[in-house]
């Protein structure tokens, strides 16, 4: 029987079902043995979902040491032989996956968000070239594959049969002594809205840097949130949590109002799923203008004042 190993990284335990679904897509319709690897945290939520749990919780092993983790998984593969290994596409996986691929001679595909079988050919899809292009990467079905998977890209299968889970204790002797150690972990409390879920976004770019705060009243009047381009974030005028772009957030609002935003490819790619785009710019030749449903050529602050006045009047007339 074929086997799949799902590495459930500390702090990402909720992604287990999604990663298991990705492994199912790789191995196709044939039955397979599902194995989970944990290095920290509880295991109760994994019972019934996996056939096997490798419990590598050990004082000797620090899961943040990529070299030690690669050695451990490679040793498990040598003993058990996995047809595919799947892990979440996290910063730790960026360090771990290439090391593991070299040690165990795996074919590696990163940041996968879709998997298809076509004419007995397995193809993994991901974004490339800064998110401007989507590519499919063929994977041999005759060799083990290693994938890092984007968060929640695969919906867990409903009514999956309950498994009789067995626990395999990974002994301290099998856990490499990790020279690198995590000294401290601190949780950063985020109070900013999750703009990825916003229906309306009022976004500002370099053209409104003189008074970025002026966007807030308009966003509130429209029942939306404020967002920023990288130019604003790099100047320290807005937190990175509300940055739109490939180095920030990809968004899909019903309405996106772009004020003073030039429209670099990284930004327009990140807003490509917006239903309706209004851009306000003094430069009619700005790249974002060619993609907009409505282009207002003029001063962004004057536009904000005029629209706020109109909304106030409509509310006074009972039309809003």
Domains and CATH numbers, the chain: 2-174 (3.40.50.620), 195-317 (3.40.50.1220)
Res. 185: pLDDT tops 70: no
CB 26 within 8 A of CB 4: yes
Supply the pLDDT for residue 119: 79
Q: Lowest-pLDDT range, 122-126, 145-149, 172-176, 235-239?
A: 172-176
Which pairs with CB-CB distance under 8 Å and at least 24 residues apart come from 161-164? 162/48, 163/34, 163/48, 163/49, 163/50, 163/51, 164/51
Supply the pLDDT for residue 310: 93
Report field, pTM of the whole predicted structure over 0.85: no
d(CA 246, CA 236): 18
Q: What is the pLDDT of residues 228-285, one digit of tens each?
A: 999 999 999 999 899 998 888 889 999 999 999 999 988 998 898 899 999 999 999 9
CB 273 within 8 A of CB 251: yes
Res. 214: pLDDT tops 90: yes
Pairing mode of beta strands 200-204, 255-259: parallel
Section 127-141 average pLDDT = 79
- The mean pLDDT value of the chain amounts to 88
Beta partners for 87? 7, 148
Better-scored residue on pLDDT, 87 or 63: 87
Res. 204: pLDDT tops 70: yes
Section 292-298 average pLDDT = 95
Supply the pLDDT for residue 132: 65
Which residues have CB under 8 Å from 253's CB, separation 6+?
198, 199, 200, 201, 224, 274, 275
């Amino acid at each position: 029987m074929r086997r799949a190993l799902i590495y459930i990284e500390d702090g990402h335990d909720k992604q287990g079902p999604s990663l298991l679904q990705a492994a199912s897509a790789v191995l196709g319709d044939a039955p397979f043995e599902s194995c989970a690897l944990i290095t920290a945290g509880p295991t109760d939520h994994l019972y019934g979902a996996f056939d096997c749990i490798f419990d590598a919780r050990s004082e000797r092993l620090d899961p943040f040491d990529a070299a030690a983790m690669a050695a451990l998984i490679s040793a498990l593969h040598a003993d058990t032989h996995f047809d595919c290994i799947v892990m979440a596409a996290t910063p730790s996986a960026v360090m771990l996956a290439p090391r593991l691929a070299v040690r165990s001679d795996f074919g590696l595909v990163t940041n996968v968000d879709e998997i298809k079988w076509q004419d007995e050919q397995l193809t993994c899809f991901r974004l490339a070239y800064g998110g401007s292009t989507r590519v499919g990467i063929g994977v041999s079905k005759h060799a083990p594959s290693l994938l890092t998977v984007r968060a929640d890209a695969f919906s867990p299968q409903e009514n999956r049969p309950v498994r009789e889970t067995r626990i395999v204790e990974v002994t301290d002797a099998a856990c490499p002594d990790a020279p690198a150690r995590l000294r401290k972990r601190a949780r950063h409390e985020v109070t900013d809205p999750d703009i990825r879920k916003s229906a309306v976004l009022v976004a500002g770019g370099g053209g409104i840097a003189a008074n970025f705060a002026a966007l807030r009243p308009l966003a509130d009047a429209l029942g939306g949130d404020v967002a920023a381009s990288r130019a604003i974030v790099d100047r320290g005028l807005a937190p990175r949590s509300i940055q739109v772009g490939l180095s920030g957030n990809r968004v899909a609002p019903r309405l996106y109002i772009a004020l003073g935003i030039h429209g670099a490819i990284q930004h327009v790619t990140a807003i490509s799923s917006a239903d309706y785009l209004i851009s306000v710019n003094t430069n009619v030749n700005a790249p974002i203008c060619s993609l907009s449903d409505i282009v207002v050529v003029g001063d962004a602050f004057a536009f904000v004042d005029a629209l706020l006045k109109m909304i106030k009047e409509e509310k006074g007339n009972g039309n809003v």
